[in-house]
Homo-oligomer: A and B are copies of this chain.
Amino acid sequence: MEFSSKLLENAVNEVSQLPGIGKRTALRLVLHLLKQPESQTLHLVNSLQELRTEIKHCNNCHNISDVEICDICANPNRQQDIVCVVEDIRDVMAIESTAQYKGLYHVLGGKISPLDGIGPHNLTIASLVEKVKEGKIKEIIFALSSTMEGDTTNFYIYKQIENYEVKTSTIARGISVGDELEYADEVTLGRSIVNRVPFENSLKSS
């Protein structure tokens, strides 16, 4: 792509570094900004800059937060001794939107993935193990995605804490509510039969 302006070229190059955005999309976005009032670009720019320089992570659960201890950890109505281990803030938001969980979270910041150069020390595993050692936690719920990396991470954490008195569980894998059995993959369907629940339980949670 040949640009008539160095400023335009720079902006397109920077925007196209974002995931899933190529040069053409970047050009479209940048030209859109040029057509809008200058204030829109300035608001965008300020919000990104503030986010990047001022964002904090909760000291307890490592979730993104504006303060030292996030709203969830600071909420006295939540059960402080149940911790749900998730990959990032999107998983926290997803679980929160179900309104079914009243414990705390622990945000790992990723999964163990040697191919991407992410080892246990890149994640917040040490502080989770520390909390377990201090006896603060009664139950840990693993809620990582069930991929190779997710399972590895679950197992790594499990090995670190298996000698302490803490209950561990993983979220249930099974057929999605509303899905047809015939289209489900074998592994999911198999697990949903092995881990079947008493019929009375399914009446309660709906």
Contact = CB atoms under 8 A, between A and B. Distances in A.
A51 B96 contact: no
Interface residues of A, number: 57
Given A10-B47, A49-B45, A55 B2 contact: no
A171 interface: no
A177 interface: no
Which of A21, A32, A45, A66 has the most B CB atoms < 10 Å from its CB? Answer: A45
Interface stretch (A86-94, A127-135, A148-156, A157-165): A86-94
* Residue from A19, A20, A44, A90 having most chain B Cβ neighbours under 10 A: A44
A160 to B, nearest CB: 24
A93 B1 contact: yes
A38 B52 contact: yes
B11 A47 contact: yes
Given A14-B48, A18-B29, 13 more contacts: A4-B64, A4-B65, A4-B70, A6-B66, A8-B55, A8-B64, A11-B50, A15-B48, A17-B44, A20-B28, A33-B52, A44-B48, A45-B49
- Nearest 5 pairs of A and B residues by beta carbon: A41-B52, A11-B51, A14-B44, A10-B47, A11-B47
